[in-house]
Amino acid sequence: MTKPLRTLIVEDSEDDAELLLRELRHGGYDPAHARVETPEAMSAELSAHTWDIVFADYTMPHFNAFDALALMRNTGLDLPFIIVSGTIGEDRAVVAMKAGAHDYILKGNLKRLVPAVERELRDAAVRRKHRQDEETIRKLAYTDPVTELPNRARFIEYIREAVAVGLREHHPVALLLMDIDRFKDVNNTLGYVSGDTLLRQVGARLRSALSGHELVARLGCDEFGILLPRLASADDLEQFVKKTQNILEAPFMIDEIPIAVEASIGAALWPDHADEETLLQRADIAMYRSKQMMSGYAVYAPEYNSYSSERLSLMAELRDAIDRGQLLLHFQPKVEIATGRIVGTEALVRWQHPRLGLLMPDKFITICENTGLMDPLTRWVLSDALNHCQGARREGIRLRISVNFSARSLHDKHLPEVIENMLKITGAEPGRLTMEITESAIMLDPKRAEENLATLSRMGIYLSIDDFGTGYTSLANLKRLPVNEIKIDKSFVTNMLNDKNDAMIVRSVIDIGHTFGIRVVAEGVETKEIFDALAALGCDEAQGYYISRPQACEQLKKWFTASIWKLPSAS
C-alpha cells in the first residue's frame, strides 16, 4: 500500500521534478505535489495548502534554496526541507545544513532520497509532538482549566501591565474580587462535576459583562477577579458592579436544576487604595467586608482592615492548635488501576477547632503560608503521617504515605536534614514516604528546588509533582528533576468524559509521564466511567471519591477490610 505524501517541489526543471517523484513512487509513496519556481508561487502554495515535505533545487535563475528556506521559516512552518541539486558541493552542503536545511541529495544519485524522507518525516513528527506537549503545558501555565479564563498567575501579570499603563497615561485602575456565596453547598449536594459546571457558567456570564480592555480571571476555587484598567470615575465602577450583579441574577441550570447564585464583591482602586503589589489584597479585604455585612458589594476603606479580625483570631489560635492536639490527619487511598491494588494513602490535615468545628485546609493553610507557622505545621504533619505509617506496618499494612510540602518547605536548605531526622525518630523507611510538591513551588526557585529534590531522591524518598498541569513545568525541567510521579489535577479528570479539551490534556499528561518513565496518578476520580477511561489511556494510579473519601485512620482500617480494592501482601 502506498503512503500519501504532500510534496512541494521548488524546481525550474519539470524533468528533474519528475525524476524525484518517480523515485518517491518507487519507495512506496504516493506524492500529491506542486512545483514552483518563484517566491510568489511558493508563498501562495504554503498559504493555500498543507504540506508534509519541501524539496528545493540549490540554485535557479531567480530563486535558490536559501531563499526558499527563509520564506518557509518566515511563515512559521517547520517542515522537512531537503535540497536536491546537481551543483551543490560539500562546502555548500555544510552551509545549507547550518542555515536549517535537513538534508541534501544529489540529482545524479537519488538512492538516499527515500531513506532521507523517511527519517525526516519521523523527526518532524517527533518535533510536532514535542511542540504540542509544550504548548499544552504553556497554555496551562496561564489558563484556568475549568473555566478557560486566565488564572491567578496571569491575572497578576495583567494587574502589573494595567498599572504601568495607568501610570503612563494618568488614569486609575480598578480591581474587583468576587466570591460565590455558599458555593461549597453546591459541591457537597450535587458533586464536584456540577460545581465545575456552575463555575464555567459563571465565568461565561462574567465575560459577557466585559467590553474593551476589561478582563475576568478565575483566581481559585469559587473566586473570580475582574480588572478594569481604564476606569473613568467611581460612578463607572458602581455601574459596572450593578451590571455584573444583574447578569448573575437569573438562575443557572445544572442538570435541569435551577441554582441561584449570590456573590460578594470587593473593589479596590489604584492608586487611591493600594500600589500594584497590594491591590489584590485590598480588594480581598473589601470582599470580606461585603461578606460580613451581607451587602453584596464594598469598596475598600482603611478601617475595613479590622474586619479581618476572624482571620487574625484564627492565626493566633493556630499557633496553639498543634500543642493542644487539635490537628488531625485524614487519609485518602490511591489504587493501582491495572490491578485494583491499594498502593498508598495521602495524608490530609484537618483542624478540629473547638468553636468552629472541623476546618478543612483551605481555611487555615493560607494563614500558615503568610506567617511563620508553615514550618511547624509541616513538621507535625510529617511526624504524625510517618507514625501512622509505622503503626500500619506493625499491623501488616505496608503502604506508601504521601505528604504535601509547601514552596517554603521545598526551598528550605535544611529540608533534607529535617526529613532524615524524622525518619530516624519514627523508624520509617525512606521508600515509604512520598513528598508531594506543586509545579508552582518548583518554579519559584528551580535551582534550589532541584538541589533539595536531588538530595531527597538519593535518600530514597519518592517524589511527586502534585496538581500537574496547573503550573508550568517544561519538558526540560521534567526530564532533569528526579521525579517518580506526576498527579493530574482533578479539574481535568472530573470532566474528561464530557470535555474533549480535558480529555486531550489527560491523555497528553499520561503520554508525557510515560515518555520520561514517570508514573501518572489521576486525582478527582469520582465515577467508574472515569476510572475505566483512565485505564484505557494507560494511567497508572487513581485517587478520588470513587475509591474512597479521606478518612480518619481507624475508619480507614475498617475500610481496608470491607473494600473491593486489595491491600498488598505484607513484605
Distance in angstroms (rounded) separating the CA atoms of residues 386 and 378:
12
Instruction: Say if 226 falls within a structural domain.
Output: yes
Please work out, in degrees rounded to the nearest 5, the angle formed at the alpha carbon of residue 552 by the alpha carbons of 381 and 193. Answer: 95
**Residue scoring higher pLDDT (465 or 366):** 465
Distance in angstroms (rounded) separating the CA atoms of residues 124 and 475:
18
Distance in angstroms (rounded) separating the CA atoms of residues 28 and 413:
59
Residue 549 has pLDDT above 60, yes or no: yes
Q: Find the CATH number of the domain harbouring 279.
A: 3.30.70.270
Instruction: Say if 189 falls within a structural domain.
Output: yes
Residues 296 and 398 in one domain: no
| Least-confidence region, from 174-188, 298-312, 445-459 | 298-312
Buried b (16+ CB within 10 A) or exposed e, 127-142: eeeeeebeebbeebbe
**Residue scoring higher pLDDT (348 or 439):** 348
| Least-confidence region, from 59-68, 75-84, 110-119 | 59-68
Q: What is the pLDDT of residue 58?
A: 81
In whole numbers, what is the pLDDT of the chain averaged over residues?
87
Length of the chain equals 571
How would you classify residue 192: left for phi > 0, otherwise alpha for psi between -120 and 50, otherwise beta?
alpha
pLDDT per position as a tens digit, 392-423: 889 888 889 999 998 778 888 889 999 999 99
Residues 132 and 195 in one domain: no
Instruction: Say if 317 falls within a structural domain.
Output: no
Instruction: Say if 126 falls within a structural domain.
Output: yes
How many distinct structural domains can be found in the chain? 3
Q: What is the pLDDT of residue 336?
A: 96
Q: What is the pLDDT of residue 89?
A: 63
Residues 258 and 334 in one domain: no
pLDDT mean over 9-14: 90
Residue 509 has pLDDT above 80, yes or no: yes
Residues 187 and 285 in one domain: yes
Residues 239 and 195 in one domain: yes
pLDDT per position as a tens digit, 330-366: 999 999 999 999 999 999 999 999 888 898 887 788 6
How would you classify residue 544: left for phi > 0, otherwise alpha for psi between -120 and 50, otherwise beta?
left
Which of the four pLDDT bands, split at 50, 70 and 90, describes residue 308? low
**Residue that finishes a domain, picked among 94, 109, 142:** 142
Residues 251 and 162 in one domain: yes
Q: Find the CATH number of the domain harbouring 430.
A: 3.20.20.450
Residue 214 has pLDDT above 70, yes or no: yes
Which of the four pLDDT bands, split at 50, 70 and 90, describes residue 309? low
Strands (E), 469-569: 485-488, 519-522, 541-542, 551-552
Residues 158 and 125 in one domain: no
Q: What is the pLDDT of residue 292?
A: 67
**Residue scoring higher pLDDT (159 or 88):** 159
Buried b (16+ CB within 10 A) or exposed e, 270-292: beebbebeebbebbbbbbbbbbe
Residues 133 and 156 in one domain: no
| Least-confidence region, from 324-338, 364-378, 462-476, 517-531 | 462-476
Q: What percent of the chain has pLDDT over 90?
A: 45
pTM score of the predicted model: 0.54
> Is 202:148 a contact under the CB 8 Å cutoff?
no
**Residue that finishes a domain, picked among 116, 142, 168:** 142
Instruction: Say if 313 falls within a structural domain.
Output: no
Instruction: Say if 319 falls within a structural domain.
Output: no
Instruction: Say if 13 falls within a structural domain.
Output: yes
Residues 363 and 397 in one domain: yes
pLDDT per position as a tens digit, 281-300: 889 889 888 876 777 899 99
Residues 53 and 185 in one domain: no
Which of the four pLDDT bands, split at 50, 70 and 90, describes residue 307? very low
**Residue scoring higher pLDDT (307 or 449):** 449
Instruction: Say if 315 falls within a structural domain.
Output: no
Residues 246 and 281 in one domain: yes
Q: Structural domain of residue 374, as residue ranges? A: 328-562
Which of the four pLDDT bands, split at 50, 70 and 90, describes residue 87? low
Q: What is the pLDDT of residue 521?
A: 96
pLDDT per position as a tens digit, 141-156: 788 888 999 998 889 9
Q: Find the CATH number of the domain harbouring 16.
A: 3.40.50.2300
Which of the four pLDDT bands, split at 50, 70 and 90, describes residue 542? very high
Residue 451 has pLDDT above 50, yes or no: yes
Residues 293 and 367 in one domain: no
Which of the four pLDDT bands, split at 50, 70 and 90, describes residue 212? confident
Residue 30 has pLDDT above 90, yes or no: yes
Residue 370 has pLDDT above 60, yes or no: no
**Residue that finishes a domain, picked among 142, 160, 186:** 142
DSSP 507-519: HHHHHHHHHTT-E
